[in-house]
Chains A and B, each alone.
Chain A
Amino acid sequence: MGRRGGIEVENLVRVFRKGPRAVDGISLAVEPGEIYGFLGPNGAGKSTTVLMLTTLLPPTSGTARVAGYDVVKEGPQVRATIGAALQEAALDQFLTGRDHLHLQGALHGLPRLERRKRGEELLQRVGLSEAADRKVRGYSGGMKRRLDLALALVHRPSILFLDEPTTGLDPQSRSALWAEVSRLAREDGVTVFLTTQYLEEADVLADRVGIIDHGHIVAEDTPEALKAEIGRPSVEATPMDPKERDAVARALGRFGEEIPAQPGAVSVRLDRGDLADVVRALDAEDLKVSNLRLDEPSLNDVFLEKTGRSLEGAGDPEAEEA
């Protein structure tokens, strides 16, 4: 890969002293201008990977090149090329939004006039112009996230790392951030490395998705290809009478293998037949259901297929990252 815009990782490992093997030999490549979604539960190794790629944590072994620069040997060049908004927005409560942009520009060596101009442009772009002169301690979570994104963009980076950028945001702020991230990649050609534990976020935003679990990449492709790999839809039925759960499970079991379902419900991956066949089978046995749902394969199904667990609730708090 050339010296522009991409990320190349080979056998990257990070072991914490007396701690878990947080990242266990991952390899991946992100093309310039691509949005790469790094999906996994809490403690899977997402943030540790970002810390290594942004030169905030040295790898235990393996290599990683960002924009063509080695993250260990060429840290200053990497930092000059990337922008990053990490999981917890590192903001100074006593500075205003505008102060932060001024400081960030100064850290990157932008001349004073350019700093001012770029600051105004970014404040407008993230919708913080009116709040620019307020101290950050009065900002909402969404405002802090937007400011953090603006700060990451001050020096026009060619690669942007976003570590769970929408965690804790309301739906409106989340949509606005998604729109801005998409625009950055499509219009400005910025490469985006995005970690998330939200399936929808990876599905909507990412050109390609890498699924990480316990420090390993368990699947990697476009969201469509990953879902197509699973191929089959699933049917979930909730019996009206909870006592009939086993009978419903037997009826549905004729159509495929049972998979984890909501409490009280039965879910199977359809190997044969379709929804109409399932309805007929339930009718034939006079089993009444309060809810019957056909689900097309999702990234959660991909995660389930690869790890045997559902992504929701799969986090391992004991293995929480750096």
Chain B
Amino acid sequence: MGGFFWVAGAVAGRQIYKYFANPAFLAPALFPLFFFVAFAGGLTRVGDVPGFDYAPGYIAFQYVWALLQAVAMGGAFTGFSIAGDFENGFARRLLLAAKNRSGIILGYTIASLVRVTVTGALVTVIALVVGIPISGGFDLFGLIGLAALVNVAATLFGAGVAMLLRTQQAGPVIRTPIFMVLFLAPVFVPLNLLQGWLQTIARLNPFTTVLDAARGFLAGEPTSALPAYGIGFALVLVFALWALYGLRRAERVGS
């Protein structure tokens, strides 16, 4: 693995330093916070609708989605950073110095995880302030584990796109599919209350299983935890290969 880990460490160190030197690193949390504050407040009565059977309540129901959205967007924003590094030429320095270039991908991924630790914590603190329950069987590790997998998968997806396109124009190509996957799931009401095409798509969307499992962890009643983790690991694997493909393409065309 000659150089793999020290390259990863160097790349992660630079990214993390940059995040904490610039408050803009909190940007991935802004959208989820907006949705959370706006909808969890305005739609609280949805919790009274017959068929809504999520015990911790509507705010907690929304919090889980906001958290997963924050960590997924954290991955997307890391993709934007990678695209920026290619566009302004800095990636060339990394490729030139890295004995093992695959370590570059790991470095960005580690930095992304560190970033969403902060943004995820921010979302959680605000959720606690507005009243999600902290009693009951809250399975913190199960929830954090799923959030980490979502972040890593989104980061690797973004890295692959960024390295293929090597321009900041990659932004919409990274963001749009992530948004679609996030929103075509039971965002505001449980799956059984969705109707028509949206319910069909949500049922087919693998993110629905992840979201259900995460909500189950928060409720202290884990449901479909194993399939959710299976989907999470599978996505990480697929997008790791995708990111490596992007890296090899960047190497072939001369970044």
Give the B-binding residues of A (Cβ under 8 A): 51, 54-58, 76, 79-80, 84, 86, 88, 90-92, 94-95, 99, 103-104, 106-109, 151, 322
Contacts and interface: CB of A to CB of B under 8 A. Distances in A.
* B contacts with A: majority SS: helix
Contact of B3 (A57, A76, A86): A76
Interface string B91-108: 111111111100000000
Contacts, number: 71
Contact of A151 (B2, B13, B93): B93
B204 to A, nearest CB: 38
B254 A94 contact: no
Given A56-B95, A56-B255, A79-B99, A103 B90 contact: no
B1 to A, nearest CB: 11
Interface of B: 2-3, 6-7, 9-11, 13-14, 17-18, 21-22, 88-100, 251-255
* A contacts with B: majority SS: loop
A79 B93 CA distance: 11
A56 B166 CA distance: 14
A58 B251 contact: yes
Nearest to B95: A56
Listed from nearest, the 6 A-B pairs whose CB atoms lie closest are A57-B254, A106-B10, A107-B97, A109-B6, A90-B93, A90-B89
B99 A104 contact: no
Contacts of A95: 14, 17-18
A55 B254 CA distance: 9
B3 A106 contact: no
Contacts of A151: 93
Contact of A106 (B6, B88, B91, B96): B6
12 contacts: A86-B92, A90-B92, A91-B90, A91-B93, A99-B14, A103-B13, A104-B93, A104-B97, A108-B99, A109-B3, A109-B99, A151-B93
Contacts of B92: 56, 86, 90
Contacts of A106: 6, 9-10, 13
Given A76-B2, A106-B10, A322-B254, A94 B18 contact: yes
Given A58-B252, A88-B89, A107-B97, 12 more contacts: A56-B96, A58-B251, A79-B96, A80-B99, A84-B96, A90-B90, A95-B14, A95-B17, A103-B14, A107-B7, A107-B94, A151-B93
Which residue, B96, B100, B251, has most C-beta atoms of chain A within 10 A? B96
A94 B7 contact: no
Which residue, A88, A90, A108, has most C-beta atoms of chain B within 10 A? A90
Contacts of B94: 107
A104 B254 CA distance: 20
A56 B13 contact: no
B254 A108 contact: no
A76 to B, nearest CB: 4
Nearest to B93: A90
B70 to A, nearest CB: 24
Contacts of B253: 57
A107 B18 contact: no
B6 A76 contact: no
A103 B14 CA distance: 7
Which residue, A57, A94, A99, A109, has most C-beta atoms of chain B within 10 A? A109
Nearest to A151: B93
